Amino acid sequence: MPRTPDSIVTALLERNARVTAPRREIIDCISQVPRTFTAEDVCGELPHIGRATVYRTLKILQDADIICKVVMPGDEMAYSVSADLDHEPGAANIPPHHHHAVCTVCTAVRYFNAEAIERAIKALSLSVEGVMGEIIDHRIEVYDVCPRCVATDPE
């Protein structure tokens, strides 16, 4: 379930942040595509909005877990609109633990959380004797060619 502009506006209001015209435009801009983007991308799309406003707005959205950073194949960072998982039953306001699959062709990001991987990482602390200490957190990025790009690409 992708983020709709409305759900983002609601999330902003819940955090007592004002919903201004520039913010609405930025929200519409980034929720139109499932691909990763940078602050500079948004500035390019919305040249009439001040750079500072774009950067400040993206920071707010990141703090609100509406967008998050993903590591791209070349080690650069980019933003991605988070999946709309916030209102799932039982999740309260804690953003659920998740990982990213990034398409190496179109940069579309999909979210997943595989129990098997979580279990394997927990088991790590035991298996690699003396190497791993107390595991606190982890980050996983999977790079793939997404189903749509697999279907499109001739080879």
Q: Does 38 bind DNA (CB under 7 A)?
A: yes
Residue 152 in the binding site for a copy of itself (CB under 8 A) = no
Q: Is 154 an interacting residue with respect to a copy of itself (CB under 8 A)?
A: no
**By CB under 8 A, which span of 13-21, 27-35, 52-60, 127-135 interacts with a copy of itself?**
127-135
Per-residue b/e over 58-95, b at no fewer than 16 CB within 10 Å? bebbeebebbbebebeeeeebbbbbbbbbeeeeeeeee
Q: Which of residues 43-72 bind DNA (CB under 7 A)?
A: 48-53, 55-57, 59
The token pair that represents 112 in the structure block = 């997943």
CA count, 13 A, side-chain hemisphere, 130 = 0
Two tokens, residue 52: 């500072």
Catalog residues that contact a copy of itself under the rule CB under 8 A: 69, 71, 73, 75, 77, 101, 103-104, 110, 112, 114, 116-117, 119-121, 123-125, 127-128, 130-150
